[in-house]
Amino acid sequence: ILNVEQSPQSLHVQEGDSTNFTCSFPSSNFYALHWYRWETAKSPEALFVMTLNGDEKKKGRISATLNTKEGYSYLYIKGSQPEDSATYLCAFTPNTGGFKTIFGAGTRLFVKA
Amino acid sequence: GAGVSQSPRYKVAKRGQDVALRCDPISGHVSLFWYQQALGQGPEFLTYFQNEAQLDKSGLPSDRFFAERPEGSVSTLKIQRTQQEDSAVYLCASSLEGTYNEQFFGPGTRLTVL
């Protein structure tokens, strides 16, 4: 069974704090790893798609790393702002001949001003 | 440009009714995905289209669920004889091609089966 685990389930931080979340996925049959940000009442928005072991991607204050050999990815937010409050979803695409994208349950981030 | 749109945004159905959910992907996007999202969980894959071809329907939970994309653009997800456990948000996403490109999501259709 292919499973994606995200931790923590939720996180409360103060404005200005830096934070990070973890996504664990099967280390075999890796094809791609996606991070999405989902604000309440909006559609999920793509942050990063990573395909190579050791990939590091950055968009503003948000960055992500990928370790396909051990099956984990970290998402970092530097200097959290209230507008960063959202659910951060991780999704894994296996290389098993299908087109399934498997999502984790997400990490819900609350940033208090 | 226009993003992915879905209609209706909300649908209430009585148990046993058939429903049809529509997705308009971004123009030119080859790939289209349908997901089902239950409360408190991440989106769960239902099916995948590449143009008009349904290449993966491994996530459809039963033969009551049927999806089509006859002209390679608009897609419809149909649920026959709805059951209470079908209540969920149904998300549609499109991408340029394949599963290694970012997916652009629609706002979803919230289905409630009474």
Dihedrals φ, ψ of A89, to 5°? -105, 140
Whether the predicted pLDDT of A2 surpasses 80: no
Q: What is the mean pLDDT of residues B50-63?
A: 95
Minimal CA–CA distance to A74: which of A20, A32, A9, A7? A20
Exposure string over B83-94, b if 16+ CB within 10 A, otherwise e: eeebbbbbbbbb
Minimal CA–CA distance to B105: which of B84, B89, B83, B88? B89
Q: Confirm or reject contact between B48 and chain A (CB < 8 A).
A: yes
Q: Confirm or reject contact between B98 and chain A (CB < 8 A).
A: yes
Chain B interface, best mutation among A2, A35, A43, by max B CB count within 10 A: A43
pLDDT for position B2: 81
pLDDT band, very low/low/confident/very high, at A29 (cuts 50, 70, 90): confident
Whether the predicted pLDDT of A65 surpasses 80: yes
Q: What is the mean pLDDT of residues A58-80?
A: 97
Q: What is the mean pLDDT of residues A66-72?
A: 96
pLDDT for position B55: 94
pLDDT for position A17: 97
Amino acid code (one letter) for B100: Y
Mean pLDDT of all residues in chain B? 95
pLDDT for position A97: 79
Mean pLDDT of all residues in chain A? 94
Q: Return the structure tokens found at A63.
A: 């960055």
Chain B residue closest in CA terms to A43: B107
Whether the predicted pLDDT of B1 surpasses 60: no
